[in-house]
Amino acid sequence: MRLKLLFAGLALLALSALCVPRFAPQDLAVPLPEARLDLLATARQVIATHPDFTELGQGSASYLAFVRTLQGDLREPLPWWRVYEDEDLVLNYVHDPHTNLQNNFSPFSSPDILPLGFDWARGGLVAYRVAGSPRAVRTGDRVLQIGGLPVAGLLPRLRRFLSGNGPWLRTLAGLTLPFGDTLRWLGLVRKGRVELRLSSPSGQTYSISEDLVPTDLASARAYLLGEQNFMARYIAPPRSVLTHAGPFYAWGLTPDYALFTLASCDDTPGYERAITAFFRAAQAADVGYVVIDLQQNMGGDEAVAQPMLRYLPLRPAYTNRQDPVNPRQIYRGKVYVLIDGGSMSSAVDIAELLSEAGYATLVGSPAGMASQAPGNVQSYRTPDGRMAYIVSTEFVPSVNGQVTPALAPAISLPLTARDIARGRNPVAAWLGKLAAPRVKT
């Protein structure tokens, strides 16, 4: 399932923004009977679809009782955002990252936004600048409090509204904390303003009070551009390596390693040809390492792993593959796979498959999703047609049959607040130290 794209260009961002259904103004009233019907219909669809109920036999009585409590708490006049909030709670009951409202990880899902970016690094929550950010805030400043709530209290509260384990919940916190809806859910907005307490790298603390700004094409584009620039600088490998590009993928060579970046698991036109060209180029250049970048890849179709596996030596248990390539085309060098808390869904399956079957070494920070999790989603709409949502339809088994809370890398490269303050990208720094194990001629 795709939630965002790391390397989306500005034109794509603007186009996608125009195509995302705009949520109704915050003060638009929704008829109470309609809202209650929507909540109950969503719950019944989850019961009929989600494997917690269809495969594990979880009882529905307590779930329906929870939904009826939400229905009973609704009062007119009923603003649209309140129905959206309760719809989120109904879907989050199963606490499955694949069961949620669609588009709720986009700034267009909220009527307003805080002009500031956040990322959960090792050592705590840090802020980064986007267009319109307060001048006092510098990228890398640590966030101590939001709306008077210490940062340590954010994740427990967010878990009620956002699904996922530790790594993914921290990723979602960074993605959604600037959204006015998220801040209001947490009770951190006062008269349209948000109070923040921050700390600079030198240890000096300071406070600011910032207005939420209405979400429109300009403000959302500014936020997405700031997010894109932050990811490119502090998480993504060097862009200068990526000399061949296509939809959702790019690749290139250095004298020491070959890098293939997959931003989304989509078997787009040209993808298999790109994989073939990539491995043949790696072979011809005699590079010592192949690096597959799945950071911030939110998933899609796990079948995109198969073209990669065709060019790797496989463990005996996985040698029954279709259409093998000429043995002389198998890449025999070291293979690394980059993952992080934004690696989700099928990207986790692919990383696990490359590691289990193809001898690859995982590098980075823990992936956002556990192995063997609900997936294979189906899309639905509420009866009034206002909201679209997705629900998992089955459990997707892990590659090796083992369940882990998060896919952990063998080589740990967590992003820290100190890295951000120093302008250091730990993945790029690690890649910069990769040297071929032999002198080339």
- Please name the helix (run of DSSP H) or strand (run of DSSP E) that holds residue 127, with its range, or none: strand 124-128
**The two three-digit tokens of residue 376, written as one number:** 């294979």
The confidence score (pLDDT) of residue 404 equals 72
CA 24/CA 303 separation, integer angstroms: 38
The confidence score (pLDDT) of residue 320 equals 61
The confidence score (pLDDT) of residue 368 equals 86
55 secondary structure, DSSP code: T
The confidence score (pLDDT) of residue 26 equals 47
128 secondary structure, DSSP code: E
Instruction: Report pTM.
Output: 0.87
| Tens-digit pLDDT profile for residues 262-307 | 999 988 889 999 999 999 999 999 999 999 999 999 888 888 898 9
Pick from 2, 224, 11: which is nearest to 113 by CA?
Answer: 224
- Residue 117's beta-bridge partner residues? 128
| Tens-digit pLDDT profile for residues 313-340 | 988 877 765 566 778 888 999 999 999 9
Write the DSSP string, 56-123.
Answer: S---SHHHHHHHHHHHHH--SS-BHHHHHHHHHHHHHTT--TTSEETTTTSGGGSSEE-S-EEEEEBT
CA 246/CA 85 separation, integer angstroms: 37
Rounded to a whole number of angstroms, the CA Rg of the chain reads 23
Contacts of 169 (CB under 8 A, 6+ apart): 155, 158, 159, 162
Q: Please, what is the average pLDDT of the chain?
A: 87
**How many Cα neighbours within 13 Å face the side chain of 151?**
21
- Please name the helix (run of DSSP H) or strand (run of DSSP E) that holds residue 220, with its range, or none: helix 217-234
The confidence score (pLDDT) of residue 25 equals 47
Token pair 């040809």 in the structure block, residue: 273
Phi, psi of 436 (to 5 degrees): -60, 145
Q: What is the pLDDT along the chain (441 residues), one digit of tens a residue?
A: 333 333 333 333 333 333 333 444 445 788 999 999 999 999 999 999 999 999 999 999 999 999 999 999 999 988 887 888 899 999 999 989 889 888 777 888 888 999 999 999 988 999 999 999 999 999 999 999 999 999 999 999 888 888 877 788 888 889 999 999 899 989 999 999 999 999 998 899 999 999 999 999 999 999 999 999 999 999 999 988 999 999 899 999 999 999 999 999 988 889 999 999 999 999 999 999 999 999 999 888 888 898 999 999 988 877 765 566 778 888 999 999 999 999 998 999 999 999 988 899 999 999 988 777 888 899 999 998 888 999 999 988 877 777 777 789 999 999 998 899 889 999 999 999 988 765 444
Phi, psi of 22 (to 5 degrees): -75, 135
Interstrand relation of 373-381 and 257-262 (parallel, antiparallel or unpaired): unpaired
Handedness of CA 254, 365, 186, 105 (dihedral sign): positive
The confidence score (pLDDT) of residue 289 equals 95
Token pair 């823990």 in the structure block, residue: 366
Residue 391, helix vs strand vs coil: strand
Query: What domains, with CATH codes, occur in the chain?
Result: 10-107 (no CATH), 111-215 (2.30.42.10), 236-370+405-414 (3.90.226.10)
Pick from 193, 218, 220: which is nearest to 208 by CA?
Answer: 193
